[in-house]
Structure 1
Amino acid sequence: MVIKPAYITTSYFSDGVCVVSIGKDAFDYNKQNGVIDKKGQLIIPFHKRGYFSFKNGRSIAEENGISYYVYKNGKTSLACDINVLLNARNGYNAISGNDVKTALDALSKPENKGCPITDYWLGYIYLQVTPPMKDSVKGAQLIEQAANAGYPEAMYSIGFVYANGLSGVKDEVKAKQWLMKAGKAGVPTAYTLLGTLSEKTDPAEAAKQFQKAADLLEPIAMYNLALLYRDGRGVSKNEGEFNSWLNMSANRQYQPAKDLQARLIKKD
């Protein structure tokens, strides 16, 4: 026996580690989760947060309705405590309800300073709201600040901002740099956008990036990759690969893929 029974529940090993739980029973609301290695050593102390499986050295964790990354060394992608995370959640909920004033109040509290997720959503507001509150430059700065602090969604967003010139500055080199970081940090759509940026000038590179995203089950990338195989751009023309990726995209409810699939069926 390598690891002695000591936990109320365990996940399976992935990326060399396993999530384990302690508490009264599996349904205990107050149970805590930790992470062990293959020798049974506790590498992340027990904490009242939920974990998904680890991949590439990290896991998505959930706590009080907030999601963030936790790495094998126990560090998180968010330099803020749980009260600030609650402010972020309240701000996000207000944004979802189109209540900009409440969102700004929640996200602008002094204790939020230095928290990437509140910077990110503040930046989102300044980029998206209508004038006179709209400040695209300030919004981009806040999002890039969050990206520099290691928040993966901000890495993708600032890449998108640079790619489309949303702050008044279009910079494809910086866009690709941030999107590559976002992809490595676990944001599949970053690879999709990288592929889109390369498609006209370098279809082989586009196929490479779409493939990365498609392998992570990103439906838009699957569809775009299917079209490259259909047309023989960047890859060898291959009807089997075309149909396979098209069907996978359609099965994930990507509407253009479903529409093309329906047209092909009708044609036959």
Structure 2
Amino acid sequence: MTAIQSADFTFDDRREHSSHDQVQPVFKGQLPERGSRMIKHGTVVVDLPGPTLRTGAIDPPPAVLRIRPTRDVFGRVVMPARVWLHAGEHAVIAGIKAIQLPRKWLSKLVAGDVIGFSDARESKRRMRITEVTETGCWAALEKTAYVVPGVTLNLKKRDGRKKSVRVTDVTRKSRQRIKLKEGDLLTLTRDVHSGRPAVLDRSGSIKTPATIGCTSSSVFETVKTGDPIGFGEGILGGVIETVEPDALHVRITHAPGSARLERDMRIDLTNRWSR
């Protein structure tokens, strides 16, 4: 709902948002004279306070750790990837790639040990222990690996030690975001817990579109096909292609750069996002 009022003042075209997400104009001095006339009147458009539409929750990130070395422009490894092996008894420093293992097996490792494994893609990989400390070990990898809980690690030279152990956990992203590009289809639903990225097939094509919930169910009764919709103050925008009782199918038409959809992003049903 919008209120419009005329008054004897001029204002800057910028907008500010209050705690209720209403739009407030930023007032300034009078606009400069144009010829022999002075502009004294303006129109203010204010979004009145009310419930704000926002995106719902997104499924937690999957428990998969991607470990990759640094390569030059020719694809040659210039710096092996480093991963921290630990028993989960101490907090892992933020940003460090880490694999959690049983303490008994971990405590037997020594510098120079080589550990082989098949990663989540069934690719054969190996890591070499480069440093051993009281709380864990550092290992180096020359090839990219995807590690998930349950992957089996095998010592190449046992020397009387237990050969194999399973990964118990890996570090993961703190939250998941949904990456979208122009042309993608997004499903907006009444279920605020339905957020998840698109499902891809083996060729990389979208099998099931990305989904996100909406915090207000009334929107499904008021919008129509062809209406514009934006997310996150212009970060993402699109057009509603199909309206169903419990879902809106949105074609993304505005997704500059690496646009990502997150939880609690504002949903805008006006055309302001496209400005």
TM-score by length of 1: 0.21
> Bigger relative contact order, structure 1 or 2, given CA contacts below 8 A and separation 6+?
2
Bigger Rg, which one: 2
TM-score by length of 2: 0.21
When you count helix as a share of all residues, which structure comes out higher?
Answer: 1
When you count strand as a share of all residues, which structure comes out higher?
Answer: 2
